[in-house]
């Protein structure tokens, strides 16, 4: 079963990285167009999704 555990850890780390990268990109674009209010509105759904998971 160590192979299955390694696959789960790898999937977790990949999704963690992809989520961080996409959130960074979205927040940068939101800041450029609408400032901090835009960042708050754009990143809010990411935070809510993370709380549900």
Instruction: Put residue 40 in one of left, alpha, beta given phi > 0 → left and psi -120 to 50 → alpha.
Output: alpha
Q: Which residues contact 16 (CB under 8 A, 6 or more apart)?
A: none
pLDDT of residue 53 exceeding 90, the answer is no
Q: Is the pLDDT of residue 42 over 80?
A: yes
pLDDT for position 17: 93
Task: Report yes or no on whether pTM surpasses 0.85.
Answer: no
- For the stretch 3-34, pLDDT in tens is 788 888 999 999 889 988 988 999 999 999 99
Distances (CA, A) of 5 to 9, 10, 19, 26: 6, 9, 21, 32
Q: What is the pLDDT of residue 43?
A: 87
pLDDT bin (cut points 50, 70, 90) of residue 36 is very high
């Amino acid at each position: 079963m160590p192979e299955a555990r390694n696959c789960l850890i790898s999937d977790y780390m990949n999704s963690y990285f992809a989520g961080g990268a996409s959130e960074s990109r979205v927040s940068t674009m939101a800041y450029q167009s609408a400032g901090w209010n835009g960042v708050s509105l754009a990143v809010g759904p990411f935070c809510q999704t993370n709380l549900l998971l």
